[in-house]
Protein backbone atom coordinates (compact mmCIF):
# COMPACT_ATOMS: atom_id res chain seq x y z
CA UNK A 1 0.00 0.00 0.00
CA UNK A 2 2.81 2.41 0.88
CA UNK A 3 4.59 1.58 -2.37
CA UNK A 4 1.44 2.33 -4.35
CA UNK A 5 0.95 5.67 -2.60
CA UNK A 6 4.60 6.56 -3.24
CA UNK A 7 4.21 5.73 -6.92
CA UNK A 8 1.08 7.88 -7.18
CA UNK A 9 2.84 10.74 -5.41
CA UNK A 10 5.81 10.62 -7.77
CA UNK A 11 3.47 10.54 -10.76
CA UNK A 12 1.96 13.81 -9.58
CA UNK A 13 5.23 15.42 -8.53
CA UNK A 14 7.34 14.70 -11.60
CA UNK A 15 5.23 16.75 -14.06
CA UNK A 16 5.30 19.65 -11.60
CA UNK A 17 9.08 19.48 -11.38
CA UNK A 18 9.34 19.28 -15.14
CA UNK A 19 7.14 22.36 -15.51
CA UNK A 20 9.59 24.34 -13.36
CA UNK A 21 12.70 23.06 -15.07
CA UNK A 22 14.46 25.28 -17.56
CA UNK A 23 16.52 22.56 -19.25
CA UNK A 24 14.92 19.13 -19.21
CA UNK A 25 11.23 19.75 -19.69
CA UNK A 26 8.50 22.28 -20.36
CA UNK A 27 9.05 25.56 -18.59
CA UNK A 28 6.74 28.33 -17.37
CA UNK A 29 8.20 31.59 -16.13
CA UNK A 30 5.91 34.33 -14.82
CA UNK A 31 6.40 37.95 -13.85
CA UNK A 32 3.55 39.97 -12.33
CA UNK A 33 4.05 43.51 -11.12
CA UNK A 34 3.75 47.20 -11.79
CA UNK A 35 1.47 49.81 -10.28
CA UNK A 36 -1.40 51.89 -11.54
CA UNK A 37 -1.85 51.73 -15.28
CA UNK A 38 1.56 50.03 -15.61
CA UNK A 39 0.29 46.77 -14.09
CA UNK A 40 1.08 43.73 -16.17
CA UNK A 41 1.87 40.02 -16.39
CA UNK A 42 4.57 38.41 -18.50
CA UNK A 43 4.50 34.69 -19.25
CA UNK A 44 7.28 32.89 -21.10
CA UNK A 45 6.53 29.23 -21.75
CA UNK A 46 8.41 26.70 -23.83
CA UNK A 47 8.15 23.01 -24.53
CA UNK A 48 10.79 20.42 -23.71
CA UNK A 49 14.06 21.32 -25.46
CA UNK A 50 15.16 19.27 -28.46
CA UNK A 51 18.96 19.38 -28.89
CA UNK A 52 19.07 22.63 -26.89
CA UNK A 53 16.42 24.19 -29.14
CA UNK A 54 13.08 25.34 -27.73
CA UNK A 55 9.81 26.64 -29.07
CA UNK A 56 7.23 28.50 -27.08
CA UNK A 57 5.04 31.54 -26.58
CA UNK A 58 5.48 34.89 -24.90
CA UNK A 59 2.29 36.39 -23.48
CA UNK A 60 2.16 39.95 -22.18
CA UNK A 61 -1.00 41.08 -20.38
CA UNK A 62 -1.33 44.82 -19.80
CA UNK A 63 -3.93 47.43 -18.86
CA UNK A 64 -5.56 49.08 -21.88
CA UNK A 65 -6.43 52.74 -21.19
CA UNK A 66 -7.52 53.72 -24.70
CA UNK A 67 -11.09 54.16 -23.42
CA UNK A 68 -10.11 56.15 -20.32
CA UNK A 69 -11.21 56.46 -17.62
CA UNK A 70 -12.43 52.88 -18.18
CA UNK A 71 -9.76 50.19 -18.26
CA UNK A 72 -9.68 46.83 -20.01
CA UNK A 73 -7.35 43.87 -20.33
CA UNK A 74 -5.02 43.75 -23.33
CA UNK A 75 -3.45 40.39 -24.16
CA UNK A 76 -0.54 40.20 -26.60
CA UNK A 77 1.08 36.90 -27.56
CA UNK A 78 3.86 35.96 -29.94
CA UNK A 79 5.58 32.64 -30.72
CA UNK A 80 9.31 32.30 -30.41
CA UNK A 81 12.15 29.94 -31.08
CA UNK A 82 15.23 29.79 -28.91
CA UNK A 83 18.44 28.16 -27.83
CA UNK A 84 19.48 27.06 -24.33
CA UNK A 85 23.17 26.67 -23.67
CA UNK A 86 23.78 25.96 -20.02
CA UNK A 87 22.29 28.94 -18.18
CA UNK A 88 22.23 31.13 -21.29
CA UNK A 89 18.95 31.56 -23.18
CA UNK A 90 18.39 33.36 -26.49
CA UNK A 91 14.82 33.81 -27.71
CA UNK A 92 13.84 35.07 -31.16
CA UNK A 93 10.34 36.56 -31.42
CA UNK A 94 8.25 38.43 -33.95
CA UNK A 95 8.84 41.78 -32.26
CA UNK A 96 7.03 41.54 -28.92
CA UNK A 97 8.75 43.29 -25.99
CA UNK A 98 10.49 45.76 -28.23
CA UNK A 99 12.82 43.55 -30.27
CA UNK A 100 13.32 40.34 -32.17
CA UNK A 101 16.02 38.90 -29.91
CA UNK A 102 15.73 38.51 -26.15
CA UNK A 103 18.68 37.38 -24.10
CA UNK A 104 18.14 35.57 -20.82
CA UNK A 105 19.93 33.85 -17.98
CA UNK A 106 18.57 30.89 -16.09
CA UNK A 107 19.06 30.90 -12.34
CA UNK A 108 17.79 28.96 -9.37
CA UNK A 109 14.13 28.89 -10.35
CA UNK A 110 14.38 32.20 -12.21
CA UNK A 111 14.76 33.56 -15.72
CA UNK A 112 16.24 37.05 -16.11
CA UNK A 113 15.66 38.57 -19.54
CA UNK A 114 17.00 41.67 -21.23
CA UNK A 115 15.39 43.25 -24.28
CA UNK A 116 17.14 45.24 -27.01
CA UNK A 117 17.01 49.06 -26.79
CA UNK A 118 13.58 50.51 -27.46
CA UNK A 119 13.38 51.91 -31.00
CA UNK A 120 11.83 55.20 -29.84
CA UNK A 121 13.37 55.82 -26.41
CA UNK A 122 16.52 53.70 -26.47
CA UNK A 123 15.60 52.21 -23.10
CA UNK A 124 16.76 48.68 -22.28
CA UNK A 125 14.27 46.72 -20.21
CA UNK A 126 15.02 43.78 -17.97
CA UNK A 127 12.90 41.61 -15.72
CA UNK A 128 13.28 38.53 -13.55
CA UNK A 129 10.61 35.90 -14.01
CA UNK A 130 9.93 33.11 -11.54
CA UNK A 131 9.53 29.46 -12.44
CA UNK A 132 5.87 28.64 -11.91
CA UNK A 133 2.96 26.74 -13.40
CA UNK A 134 -0.11 27.57 -15.45
CA UNK A 135 -2.17 27.79 -12.26
CA UNK A 136 0.14 30.55 -10.99
CA UNK A 137 -0.33 32.48 -14.21
CA UNK A 138 -4.10 32.00 -14.09
CA UNK A 139 -4.16 33.25 -10.50
CA UNK A 140 -2.13 36.35 -11.40
CA UNK A 141 -4.38 36.96 -14.39
CA UNK A 142 -7.49 36.74 -12.19
CA UNK A 143 -5.95 39.28 -9.81
CA UNK A 144 -5.23 41.65 -12.69
CA UNK A 145 -8.80 41.33 -13.95
CA UNK A 146 -10.11 42.05 -10.45
CA UNK A 147 -7.94 45.15 -10.10
CA UNK A 148 -9.20 46.42 -13.46
CA UNK A 149 -12.80 45.90 -12.32
CA UNK A 150 -12.15 47.81 -9.08
CA UNK A 151 -10.51 50.65 -11.00
CA UNK A 152 -13.52 50.87 -13.32
CA UNK A 153 -15.93 51.01 -10.38
CA UNK A 154 -13.94 53.81 -8.74
CA UNK A 155 -13.72 55.70 -12.04
CA UNK A 156 -17.49 55.43 -12.54
CA UNK A 157 -18.16 56.66 -9.02
CA UNK A 158 -15.82 59.63 -9.45
CA UNK A 159 -17.44 60.52 -12.77
CA UNK A 160 -20.91 60.38 -11.18
CA UNK A 161 -19.77 62.65 -8.34
CA UNK A 162 -18.37 65.20 -10.79
CA UNK A 163 -21.62 65.23 -12.74
CA UNK A 164 -23.61 65.69 -9.53
CA UNK A 165 -21.37 68.59 -8.47
CA UNK A 166 -21.89 70.28 -11.83
CA UNK A 167 -25.65 69.90 -11.49
CA UNK A 168 -25.62 71.28 -7.95
CA UNK A 169 -23.56 74.33 -8.96
CA UNK A 170 -25.75 75.18 -11.96
CA UNK A 171 -28.47 77.88 -11.34
CA UNK A 172 -32.09 76.68 -11.24
CA UNK A 173 -34.00 77.00 -14.47
CA UNK A 174 -36.06 80.19 -14.84
CA UNK A 175 -33.90 82.31 -12.54
CA UNK A 176 -31.26 84.89 -13.24
CA UNK A 177 -27.66 83.85 -12.66
CA UNK A 178 -26.16 85.36 -9.57
CA UNK A 179 -23.63 87.63 -11.20
CA UNK A 180 -23.67 90.53 -8.76
CA UNK A 181 -26.63 92.49 -7.46
CA UNK A 182 -29.53 92.92 -9.83
CA UNK A 183 -30.70 96.58 -9.88
CA UNK A 184 -34.22 97.14 -8.62
CA UNK A 185 -36.83 97.98 -11.23
CA UNK A 186 -38.33 101.46 -10.67
CA UNK A 187 -41.31 103.09 -12.27
CA UNK A 188 -40.28 105.82 -14.77
CA UNK A 189 -40.78 109.40 -13.57
CA UNK A 190 -43.94 111.18 -14.80
CA UNK A 191 -43.58 114.43 -16.72
CA UNK A 192 -45.49 117.37 -15.21
CA UNK A 193 -48.57 118.41 -17.13
CA UNK A 194 -48.26 121.43 -19.43
CA UNK A 195 -50.06 124.39 -17.74
CA UNK A 196 -51.20 125.67 -21.16
CA UNK A 197 -53.14 122.50 -21.66
CA UNK A 198 -54.85 123.03 -18.33
CA UNK A 199 -55.85 126.65 -19.25
CA UNK A 200 -57.11 125.49 -22.61
CA UNK A 201 -59.29 122.88 -21.04
CA UNK A 202 -60.58 125.37 -18.46
CA UNK A 203 -61.75 127.80 -21.21
CA UNK A 204 -63.86 125.09 -22.66
Phi, psi (deg, nearest 5) at residue 9: -65, -40
Report the pLDDT value the prediction gives residue 19, as an integer from 0 to 100.
Answer: 38
Percent pLDDT > 70 in the chain is: 70
117 contact partners, CB below 8 Å, separation of at least 6: 98, 99, 123, 124
- Kindly report which listed range (3-7, 113-117, 155-159, 175-179) carries the lowest average pLDDT score: 3-7
Question: Which residues have CB under 8 Å from 64's CB, separation 6+?
Answer: 71, 72, 73, 74
Rounded Cα distance, 71 and 152, in Å: 6
67 contact partners, CB below 8 Å, separation of at least 6:
none
- Which CATH number does the domain 18-159 belong to among 2.40.160, 3.20.20, 3.90.190, 2.60.40? 2.40.160
| DSSP conformation class of 87 | T
**Cα angle 104-139-77, degrees, rounded to a multiple of 5:** 50
Quick one: pLDDT at residue 20? 40
The pLDDT tens digits for 40-79 are: 999 999 999 999 999 999 999 999 988 888 899 999 999 9
Count of residues for the chain?
Answer: 204
**pLDDT exceeds 60 at position 13:** no
Q: How far is 4 from 44, CA to CA, in rounded Å?
A: 35
User: Cα–Cα distance between 42 and 65 in angstroms, integer?
Assistant: 18
HSE of 93 in the Cβ direction (CA atoms, 13 Å)?
Answer: 25
Contact indicator for 90, 110 with CB cutoff of 8 Å: no
Taking all residues of the chain, what is their mean pLDDT, rounded to a whole number?
78
Q: Shortest CA distance to 23 belongs to which of 108, 110, 93, 84?
A: 84
Q: What are phi and psi of 132, to 5 degrees?
A: -150, -155
* Predicted pLDDT at 37: 84
Higher pLDDT pick, 177 / 9: 177
Residue (of 41, 53, 42, 48) closest to 22 by Cα position: 48
Q: What is the pLDDT of residues 68-117, one digit of tens each?
A: 888 999 999 999 999 999 999 999 997 676 668 899 999 999 999 998 87
**pLDDT given at position 16:** 35
Segment holding 106, helix H or strand E? strand 101-106
Amino acid sequence: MKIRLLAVGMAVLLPMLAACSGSSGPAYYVYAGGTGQSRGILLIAWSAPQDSQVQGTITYDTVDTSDAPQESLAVNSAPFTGMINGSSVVLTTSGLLGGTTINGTLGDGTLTITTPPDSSTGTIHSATLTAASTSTYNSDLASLRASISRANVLAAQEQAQQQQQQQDSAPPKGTWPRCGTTPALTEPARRPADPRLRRHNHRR
